Amino acid sequence: MAASAAQTCLTPEEYIAFERKALPDAEIIRHEYINGELIAISGASRAHNLITINISTALHSRLRGSECETYANQMRVSTPTTTSYFYPDVVVVCEEPRFEDDVFDTLLNPIILVEVLSPSTQVYDRREKFAHYRQLTSLQEYVLVSQDKVLVEHYRR
């Protein structure tokens, strides 16, 4: 999944309105948001998609019957202490999910976040995103999965 900085500076409210307006159009690129700056997130490779769906399916099966929910690709996560929004590849939330508002598309309390690394995003996912994710008090595990080699990095709080 390629990421590139856009030249637009928006408030968090403007960003959410922009993303929600674009959501129904499958041709629109999603954007992550870091302190006013948009980061365009382009489509993922075949390997990236296969790894993401396999992880999501395995977690969903493993957590069946529990109070946990698993989301893949489209669940936005907010890191309120840094005014940032991200689209992790896989998200797990347990107990009662907390959302930013009554639209239920921006999760505040994930316990597990998984990112499938692409050559163009692996540094961003390991450093900048991880720094923002660490601000989530609910987060217990962060998993990075390489799509180019057999490598999984698992960080646990």
* pLDDT tens, position by position, 96-131: 999 999 999 999 999 999 999 988 889 999 999 999
* pLDDT tens, position by position, 34-46: 988 888 887 788 9
Residue 20 counted as domain residue? no
Residue 68 counted as domain residue? yes
Give me the number of domains the chain comprises.
1
So what's the pLDDT on residue 26? 47
- Print the domain residue range for 61: 45-156
Give residue 90's identity as a one-letter amino acid code. Answer: V
Residue 8 counted as domain residue? no
**Domain harbouring 95, CATH code:** 3.90.1570.10
Residue 62 counted as domain residue? yes
Residue 132 counted as domain residue? yes
Residue 120 counted as domain residue? yes
* pLDDT tens, position by position, 7-57: 468 888 888 888 888 655 545 578 889 988 888 887 788 999 999 999 999
DSSP E strands in the chain: the ranges are: 3-9, 30-34, 37-41, 69-72, 76-79, 84-86, 90-93, 106-107, 112-117, 141-146, 152-156
